[in-house]
Amino acid sequence: MSSQQALITIQNLEKSFPVREGVVQVLKKIDFTINKGEFVIIFGPSGCGKSTLLHCLLGLEAPTQGKVLIEGKDFYQGNEDDRALYRRERVGMIYQQPLWIHSLDVFGNVAFPLYLQDVAEAEIKEKISKVLATVQMQEKTNYMPMELSSGQQQKISLARALALDPLLIVADEPTGNLDTVSGQELIDLFRQLATNGKTIIMVTHDLEYLKYGDKLIHMLDGEVVEQKAVAGQQLKISGKRGLDKKEQANVRDKDFLSKLK
């Protein structure tokens, strides 16, 4: 549950890219706050700017205008090395397609961030045992990642993201390749982690999962058109992959969230 202490504050954020014909504005005057312990879901149609926004939040793309504040400090006042260190030590990443070191088993892949920090072997074993238990994958320690199902691989990916006890978990379309059961299991783990105080940002097209977020951010054409704090509320979202065809089309409606009662 959110402590209502701001972790990330976005102020008047804009991002433009030069093209032959001039400049394309991808993000337009974006403002929002992510509090510690919130499960924040960013959604919108393809091409709306979700990925560019994530890149700005992670220090991969400097904004053209505006600020990204991390715990009150201007993220882009530091240099690229500072931002890279932040990503390595303070952020746990989960991608739609998990990335593995194929020569290492599950233990080695999950432990890899700890080896980079020169953590003692005994402490590594303790931490890996704990995070694998958190995602209910402790029996898969000696498996190779590619021997596991897609759902199991995403749980292992989450365990690796948790290994350094990061300040923030960022999940970019984590359920995109999963079946309904595996996707629900992963979302339930996110919900449990947020309830226990972990801050999570998830970008998704799977709108049936909106009801599990604490805060929803709806993007359209490079803008945040809606923000809604929904912790403890019930959204009416149902049907195959969350919404029927008519409702899915409404994600391009700037009042999409206000029409969910």
The encoded tokens of residue 73 equal 């400090």
Predicted confidence at residue 97, as pLDDT, reads 92
Domain ranges of the chain: 6-96+168-259
Strand segments (E) across the chain: 6-19, 22-35, 39-43, 65-70, 73-74, 91-94, 168-172, 199-204, 215-220, 223-229
- Whether pLDDT at 234 is above 70: no
Contact 43, 209 (CB under 8 A): no
Predicted confidence at residue 252, as pLDDT, reads 87
Predicted confidence at residue 240, as pLDDT, reads 41
- Whether pLDDT at 220 is above 50: yes
261 confidence band (pLDDT: 50, 70, 90): low
What is the percent of the chain with per-residue pLDDT over 90, rounded to a whole number? Answer: 81
- Kindly report, residue by residue over 164-196, the tens digit of the pLDDT: 999 999 999 999 999 999 999 999 999 999 999
Q: How far apart are CA 209 and CA 198, in angstroms?
A: 18
CA torsion through residues 153, 158, 160, 161, sign: positive
The strand pairing partners of 35, in sequence order, are: 6
Predicted confidence at residue 237, as pLDDT, reads 56
Predicted confidence at residue 80, as pLDDT, reads 95
pTM: 0.91
Predicted confidence at residue 258, as pLDDT, reads 82
How many helices (H) and strands (E) in the chain? Answer: 7, 10
- Whether pLDDT at 124 is above 50: yes
- Average pLDDT in the 221-244 region? 70
Report domain 6-96+168-259's class. Answer: alpha beta
Phi, psi of 253 (to 5 degrees): -85, 125
The encoded tokens of residue 145 equal 């990642």
Contacts 24+ apart (CB under 8 A), 111-114: 111/163, 112/160, 113/88, 113/160, 113/163, 113/164, 114/163, 114/164
- Average pLDDT in the 39-43 region? 97
Q: How far apart are CA 39 and CA 169, in angstroms?
A: 9
245 confidence band (pLDDT: 50, 70, 90): very low
Measure the CA angle with vertex 8, ends 41 and 17; round to 5°. Answer: 80
- Whether pLDDT at 29 is above 90: yes
